[in-house]
Chains A and B, each alone.
Chain A
Amino acid sequence: MSSATVNDFFQAITSSGTSKDDLNIIYDSVQKFSEVTSKNKDVKVFLSNDIYPAESKIDVIKDVIGEKQQAINFFKTIIDFGILNDLIDSSEFFLKKIRSILSKVKVKVVVSSLNQRKEEIVRKGLEEIWGTDLEIDFFIDEDIIGGVILQVEDKFFDGSISGKLKQINNII
Chain B
Amino acid sequence: MEEINTVAQLKFASQHLFNLICFIGILYYFLRKPVSVFFVNRSKNIEESINTAKNIIDEAQQKYDENSMKINQLDNEATSINKSSENIVESKIDDINNNANSMVSMIEKDTEEIIKLESNKIDSQIRSAMIQKAIKISENDLKQKLTDEKDEELIISYLAEVKKDVISNS
A interface residues, Cβ below 8 angstroms from B: 111-113, 115, 117-118, 121-122, 125-126, 128-130, 145-148, 150, 157, 159, 161-162, 165, 168-169, 172
Contacts and interface: CB of A to CB of B under 8 A. Distances in A.
Contacts of B59: none
A162 B155 contact: no
A157 B169 CA distance: 14
A128 B159 CA distance: 9
- Minimum-distance CB pairs A-B, first 3: A159-B158, A125-B159, A146-B146
Contacts of B166: 129-130
B150 interface: yes
* Chain B interface residue bracket vs A: 20 to 34
B142 A161 contact: yes
B33 interface: no
B131 interface: yes
A147 B163 contact: no
Given A145-B146, A146-B146, A172-B131, A159 B161 contact: yes
Contact of A117 (B138, B152, B160, B161): B152
A121 B152 contact: yes
A126 B150 contact: no
Contacts of B160: 125
Interface in B75-108: none
Interface in B9-63: none
Interface of B: 127, 131-132, 135, 138-139, 142-143, 146, 148, 150-152, 154-156, 158-163, 166
Contacts of B139: 145, 161-162, 165
A162 B142 CA distance: 10
Given A118-B155, A159-B154, 18 more contacts: A111-B155, A113-B151, A117-B152, A121-B155, A121-B156, A122-B159, A125-B155, A128-B159, A129-B166, A146-B150, A147-B151, A147-B154, A159-B161, A161-B146, A165-B135, A165-B138, A165-B139, A172-B131
B162 A150 contact: yes
Contacts of A165: 135, 138-139
A9 B154 CA distance: 44
B143 A129 contact: no
Nearest to A118: B152
22 contacts: A111-B155, A112-B151, A113-B151, A117-B152, A118-B151, A121-B159, A122-B159, A125-B155, A126-B159, A128-B163, A129-B163, A145-B139, A146-B154, A148-B155, A150-B162, A159-B158, A162-B139, A165-B135, A165-B138, A168-B135, A169-B135, A172-B127
A83 to B, nearest CB: 33
